[in-house]
């Protein structure tokens, strides 16, 4: 059985697809990158923005031609859009065979078998928190970067930000047992993984029992987990995404400061720099309290880069609100950001409000923030020239096969020459000679296709 998997959306989906790929190959299936070759097609989908849903629906619809040639082909939709609109999609798309919600992914094999034998349409959409345990130990699928591994530590979200559909499609927040996570991290380490990425909709709320309020300043179950993972000798770096800002308690910040294996890049979703908009978004911080967390991190941890998510054109966002976002982004000095144009999601609270910022204004605000970001990113990269940075080797550079690339703890990409014996996962010292818009360059020849 040859299986084609296409993944949309966030890192959590990437990790779910990897876990499913592991489950499928363990059961004897073969993965294929070719749609034409597939006996089974799986589309792991995202619902966060309307555009993501439309893209996946377009692709699934287009797969009809393969079903014509191969009537035994099984086509399934899984993940957030399946959870959100699974039954509707099964009703509308004749060649779609199954829809598996986010709480039912571990039942994939059973569903494929059922469709193959009985040729009936199947929807499994009930929420279930067993899914992470059931899939937890399947991260043994060899991914594109075998020295890195992803571990889901929480699932779901209890926060109900007014624009967001995640709490409805990923269910209530749930944290896995620390022992299971450590066991998985050790298993990955034994297989040669040197960097782990901990994943969840709100990783920093790990172990807080689903409480939307942060624990006291001297408590951080997430920090405790980071410390335990750091004890695994061959794991050299720990990353995580995404944390909700208010869960950066003093304890967590102290742990990050004292443990160099925890990477010096914090992705801290801001969404807006206007207190009025933040309130309407149901975000539980103000511009000032957000900045206070950033400053504590900067003061205690030392060198750090920050990245973020921002939404432009939220209902009622005025020029003044937008300028507050622009100013706060410059004050923090983000090196990287995902800027999203607001799109109403049926089911989320804000969909009840008029989407009153014109598309052209959303686009203009988007461009203004992107231009600011580019300036800062170049300045941040230029400031690295002349320094020697520690880099984890990823492998051959995707842009120039004559060179290799890797990343700093601060998540900057560095391109350098391969030397005898160097392999992915090694930590090396690279003198930075030049800086481009998105890349730093170590010594060696400049390839014609290198981007400066």
Site for ligand 5AD, rule CB under 6 A:
48-49, 163-164, 269, 271, 309, 311, 340, 342-343, 345
Is 383 exposed, middle or buried (CB count within 10 Å of its CB: 0-12, 13-18, 19+)?
A: exposed
242: cis peptide before it, omega within 30°?
yes
Q: Does 47 bind ligand SF4 (CB under 6 A)?
A: no
Helix (H) or strand (E) holding 65: helix 64-69
CB 256 within 8 Å of CB 262: yes
Indicate which of ligand SF4, ligand 5AD, none lies near residue 340 (CB less than 5 to 8 Å, by partner kind): ligand 5AD
Q: Which of residues 232-251 bind ligand SF4 (CB under 6 A)?
A: 244
Which residues 6+ apart lie within 8 Å of 53 measured at CB? Answer: 45, 46, 47, 81, 84, 85
Q: How far is the CB of 157 from ligand 5AD (least distance, A)?
A: 11
The Cα angle at residue 442 between residues 441 and 446, in degrees rounded to 5: 65
The single residue among 75, 115, 166, 268 that binds ligand SF4, judged by CB under 6 A, is: 166
Pick from 68, 66, 14: nearest CA to 45: 14
Q: What is the size of the binding site for ligand SF4 (CB under 6 A)? A: 10
- The single residue listed with the structure tokens 């995902």 is 338
Closest by alpha carbon to 124, among 99, 95, 97?
A: 99
Stretch that binds ligand SF4, among 18-26, 137-145, 159-167, 435-443 (CB under 6 A): 159-167
202 binds ligand SF4 (CB under 6 A): yes
Packing angle between helix 108-118 and helix 11-26, nearest 10 degrees?
Answer: 60
The one of ligand SF4, ligand 5AD, none whose footprint includes residue 345, by CB under 5 to 8 A per kind, is ligand 5AD
Looking at beta carbons only, is 100 or 157 nearer to ligand SF4? 157
Q: Does 193 bind ligand SF4 (CB under 6 A)?
A: no
Shortest distance in whole angstroms from residue 113 CB to ligand SF4: 33
**Interface residue with ligand SF4, options 115, 161, 225, 373 (CB under 6 A):** 161
Q: Scanning the structure block, which residue is given the tokens 């469709």?
A: 115
Q: Which does 160 bind (CB under 5 to 8 A by kind): ligand 5AD, ligand SF4, none?
A: ligand SF4
Neighbours of 62 (CB within 10 A): 10
Q: Which two tokens stand for residue 399?
A: 């842009």
CA 417 to each of CA 204, 330, 340, 398: distance values in angstroms, whole numbers, following the listed order: 37, 34, 36, 13
CB of 66 to ligand 5AD, least distance (A): 31
Identified binder of ligand SF4 from the candidate list 52, 78, 157, 196, rule CB under 6 A: 157
Closest separation in Å from C-beta 181 to ligand 5AD: 23
Stretch that binds ligand SF4, among 155-163, 209-217, 320-328, 333-341 (CB under 6 A): 155-163
Calpha distance 447→130 (Å, rounded):
50
Contact positions with ligand SF4 (CB under 6 A) in 345-404: none
Task: List residues binding ligand SF4 (CB under 6 A).
Answer: 157, 159-161, 164, 166-167, 201-202, 244
């Amino acid at each position: 059985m040859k299986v084609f998997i296409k993944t949309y959306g966030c890192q959590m989906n990437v990790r779910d697809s990897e876990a499913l790929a592991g489950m499928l190959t363990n059961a004897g299936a073969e993965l294929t990158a070719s749609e034409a070759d597939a006996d089974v097609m799986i589309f792991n989908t995202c619902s966060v923005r309307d555009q993501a849903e439309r893209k996946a629906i377009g692709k699934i619809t287009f797969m009809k031609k393969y079903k014509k040639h191969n009537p035994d082909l099984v086509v399934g939709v899984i993940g957030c859009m399946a959870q959100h609109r699974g039954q509707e999609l099964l009703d509308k798309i004749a060649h779609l065979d199954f829809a598996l919600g986010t709480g039912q992914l571990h039942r994939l094999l059973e569903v494929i078998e059922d469709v193959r034998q009985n040729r009936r349409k199947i929807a499994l959409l009930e929420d279930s928190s067993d899914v992470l345990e059931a899939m937890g130990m399947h991260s043994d699928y060899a991914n594109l970067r075998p020295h890195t591994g992803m571990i889901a530590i929480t699932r779901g979200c209890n926060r109900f930000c007014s624009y967001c559909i995640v709490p409805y499609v990923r269910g209530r927040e749930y944290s896995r047992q620390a022992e299971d996570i450590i066991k998985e991290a050790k298993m990955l380490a034994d297989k040669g993984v040197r960097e782990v990425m901990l994943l969840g909709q709100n990783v920093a709320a790990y172990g807080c029992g689903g409480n939307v309020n942060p624990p006291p300043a001297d408590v951080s179950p997430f920090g405790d987990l980071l410390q335990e993972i750091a004890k695994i000798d061959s794991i050299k770096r720990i990353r995580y995404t995404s944390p909700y800002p208010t869960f950066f308690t003093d304890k967590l910040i102290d742990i990050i400061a004292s443990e160099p294996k925890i990477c010096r890049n914090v992705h801290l979703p801001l969404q807006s720099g206007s207190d009025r908009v933040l309130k309407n978004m149901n975000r539980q911080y103000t511009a000032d309290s957000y900045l206070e967390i950033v400053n504590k991190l900067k003061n205690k941890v030392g060198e750090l880069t920050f990245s973020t998510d921002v939404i432009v054109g939220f209902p009622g966002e005025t020029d003044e609100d937008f300028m507050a976002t622009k100013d706060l982004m410059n004050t923090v000095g983000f090196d990287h950001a995902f800027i999203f144009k607001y799109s109403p999601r049926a089911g989320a609270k804000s969909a009840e409000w008029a989407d009153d910022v014109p598309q052209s204004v959303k686009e203009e605000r988007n461009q203004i923030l992107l231009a600011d970001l580019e300036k800062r990113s170049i300045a941040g990269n230029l400031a690295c020239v002349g320094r020697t940075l520690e880099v984890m080797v990823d492998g051959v550079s995707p842009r120039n096969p004559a060179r290799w690339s890797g990343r700093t703890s601060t998540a900057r990409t560095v391109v350098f020459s391969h030397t005898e014996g160097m392999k992915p996962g090694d930590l090396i010292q690279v003198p930075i000679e030049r800086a481009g818009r998105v890349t730093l360059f170590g010594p060696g020849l400049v390839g014609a296709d290198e981007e400066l």
